[in-house]
Amino acid sequence: MQHSLSLPEHKKIILFDGVCNLCNTAVQTIIKHDKKDVFRFVALQSESGIAIQKHIGIATRKIDSLVFYAPGVSYSYKSEAVLDIAKELGGIFSLAIVFKILPTPLLNSVYDYVAKNRYKWYGQQEHCWMPTPELKAKFL
């Protein structure tokens, strides 16, 4: 692993679209329910986000998806990332596991449909969302 990335130990990284209102709301929901302090967040468009994508071998021009990265273990994106995050959160979110019975291509087509329309439905910001000082430690 590259040390220049300086990833926090024992944390799982969520890469998200920093200008997407839906994505920012999802991040805030995850933070609220991350009782075990498992996750750290980084915008796909940020310097750190781009470095992580390159490190794990994702073409940065092609990705406009949520990415879940367990450093040194694995990564997932699109619907699989959503289900992996829900599993980590536990509680009511672990019920999302029921969607695993559906084929991944079907789940990803639903994910892609929402992703394609997210700006139209939820809007977007001109700049990446900036966390409050209290939440800053959760971001890379």
Domain spans, the chain: 12-129
* Alpha-carbon gap, residue 26 to 113, rounded angstroms: 17
Using an 8 Å Cβ cutoff, are 117 and 6 in contact?
no
Give the per-residue pLDDT at 112: 93
Comparing CA positions, the residue from 75, 55, 127 lying closest to residue 84 is 75
Q: How far is CA 91 from the centre of its chain?
A: 19
Q: Output the pTM of the full model.
A: 0.90
Res 3 pLDDT > 50: no
C-alpha dihedral sign at 90, 96, 102, 104: negative
pLDDT tens string 27-45: 999 999 999 999 999 999 8
Using an 8 Å Cβ cutoff, are 27 and 41 in contact?
yes
Res 1 pLDDT > 60: no
